[in-house]
Amino acid sequence: MGLTKGELGDYFLSLGEKEYRATQIIKWVHQKGVSDISKMTDLSLELRERLVKECEVRVPEVIYQADSMDGTRKWVISVGEGDLIEMVLIPEGKRATLCVSSQVGCAIDCSFCATGKQGFSRNLSLDEIIGQLWIAENSFDKSKDIYKRNISNVVMMGMGEPLHNFEPVVKAMGLMLDSNAYGLSKRRVTLSTSGLVPQIKELSKHSDVSLTISLHAPNDELRNELVPVNKKYPIKELLKSVRFYVDKCNDSRVTTFEYILIDRVNDSLKLARELADLLLDFPCKINLIPFNPFSESSYKRPSNNRVKRFQEFLQSKGYVVTIRSTRGDDIMAACGQLVGKVNDKTRRKERNKKKELIQVKSI
């Protein structure tokens, strides 16, 4: 699971085998979902016996699965040492979108995000990232057609900041697009980022998947508060890097800007106007995400009227604006609710608790 086609090719060359064996293995594992090497019948018996001794196809361990009333499904996966990650499958008519995690926890610590509040443990490896797609794809019945693809879209929007885990994420997205593996179109694989400027520029050298930017505020003062990494990479720099990425894509690419709406924090008409001015001339869509509450947060979701008002203002300025419907909140699978279990190496939870204690004392 943890090897790209190139790396598998090198492995076979080192065995004195032909490089194209790598493509055969990729097809068995990722296209047909076969993890038992002895069943890979286009390899000679001798080679299969050798591979069985030397290798294994290790699939991540699912420890819990929950189905929402609305068809959304959440898996909890153990990645060792008590760390748990979550992934979510969202069926929508003919589409099925898988929301994939890239890290155990997240170091960015956005003020509105449950994953961020959990602190950070570690990056996921390639096998742990692509293994999520493997598990979800093979949870469907394939007895009639082993080649049938059930998952049409992948969004790197689960736990973690994907661009903080650059190499494994880029390699995993490579397998997602590879026609011998999952064969997804580059427009249907989306990387969502809080806005790491150097990594966005670097990504353009390796990939041309769809990019989504978690903007959430139209000015630096407010964004510094909501998305702390903005202090390092302010909005102007961020937009420049996104333009650079889009220009390199060589097609008429539209960037999606995500804007979480938090009651009385960033949902005023004044800010909608600022946002409209900021993104003028930028080929983009705006996706509004009404805040999903969780217990450690005192933020509130705005009323539907306030959400509509924000949307209609932007639409009146000519923007395409969608409102993300909340899916799977009955099983805590909605945006920002993925927490897994994080051995917090940053000790953020502890520090936050101390802060609260000091506040209580001072009251």
The CB-of-262 to ligand SF4 minimum distance in angstroms stands at 12
Give the residue nearest to ligand SF4 (CB).
116
- Is residue 267 at the binding interface for ligand SAH, with CB under 6 A as the rule? no
291 binds, among ligand SF4, ligand SAH, none (CB under 5 to 8 A by kind): ligand SAH
109 binds, among ligand SF4, ligand SAH, none (CB under 5 to 8 A by kind): ligand SF4
- Is residue 260 at the binding interface for ligand SAH, with CB under 6 A as the rule? yes
Residue with tokens 């650059």: 166
Q: Give 76's strand partners.
A: 64, 86
What is the DSSP code (8-state) at residue 283? -
Q: Which position among 72, 121, 123, 194 is part of the footprint of ligand SAH (CB under 6 A)?
A: 194
288 neighbors 334 (Cβ within 8 angstroms): no
In the complex with ligand SAH, which residue's Cβ is closer, 40 or 215? 215
In the complex with ligand SAH, which residue's Cβ is closer, 31 or 241? 241
Rounded distance between C-alpha atoms, residue 87 and residue 154, angstroms: 11
Rounded distance between C-alpha atoms, residue 194 and residue 165, angstroms: 13
List the catalytic residues: 86, 335
Q: Give 62's strand partners.
A: 77
- Is residue 116 at the binding interface for ligand SF4, with CB under 6 A as the rule? yes
The CB-of-150 to ligand SAH minimum distance in angstroms stands at 23
- Is residue 256 at the binding interface for ligand SAH, with CB under 6 A as the rule? no
Q: Which position among 106, 184, 213, 286 is part of the footprint of ligand SF4 (CB under 6 A)?
A: 106
For residue 346, count other CB atoms closer than 10 A to its CB: 16
292 binds, among ligand SAH, ligand SF4, none (CB under 5 to 8 A by kind): ligand SAH
Scan residues 192-251 and list those touching ligand SF4 (CB under 6 A): 194, 214
Scan residues 217-236 and list those touching ligand SAH (CB under 6 A): none
* Residue spans of beta strands (DSSP E) within the chain: 61-67, 73-78, 84-92, 95-99, 103-105, 120-123, 153-156, 189-193, 210-214, 255-261, 284-290, 320-323
Q: Which position among 291, 310, 319, 331 is part of the footprint of ligand SAH (CB under 6 A)?
A: 291
218 neighbors 284 (Cβ within 8 angstroms): no
- Is residue 155 at the binding interface for ligand SF4, with CB under 6 A as the rule? no
DSSP string, 227-256: SGGGGTS-HHHHHHHHHHHHHHT-S---EE
- Is residue 196 at the binding interface for ligand SAH, with CB under 6 A as the rule? no
The CB-of-160 to ligand SF4 minimum distance in angstroms stands at 6
3-class DSSP state of 341 = strand
Scan residues 96-155 and list those touching ligand SAH (CB under 6 A): 106, 112-113
194 neighbors 108 (Cβ within 8 angstroms): yes
Q: Which position among 68, 199, 292, 311 is part of the footprint of ligand SAH (CB under 6 A)?
A: 292
- Is residue 108 at the binding interface for ligand SF4, with CB under 6 A as the rule? yes
Closest CA to 256 of 161, 187, 196: 187
Q: Which position among 72, 97, 101, 115 is part of the footprint of ligand SF4 (CB under 6 A)?
A: 115
C-alpha distances out from residue 153 to 185, 188, 209, 304, 311, Å: 8, 5, 11, 28, 25
- Is residue 83 at the binding interface for ligand SF4, with CB under 6 A as the rule? no
- Is residue 161 at the binding interface for ligand SF4, with CB under 6 A as the rule? yes
Instruction: Give the distance from CA 120 to its chain's centroid.
Output: 16
3-class DSSP state of 23 = helix
Helices (H), 142-218: 166-177, 197-206
Stretch that binds ligand SAH, among 21-29, 36-44, 190-198, 345-353 (CB under 6 A): 190-198
Binding site for ligand SF4 (CB under 6 A): 106, 108-110, 113, 115-116, 160-161, 194, 214
Binding site for ligand SAH (CB under 6 A): 106, 112-113, 157, 161, 192-194, 214, 258, 260, 289, 291-292, 335-336
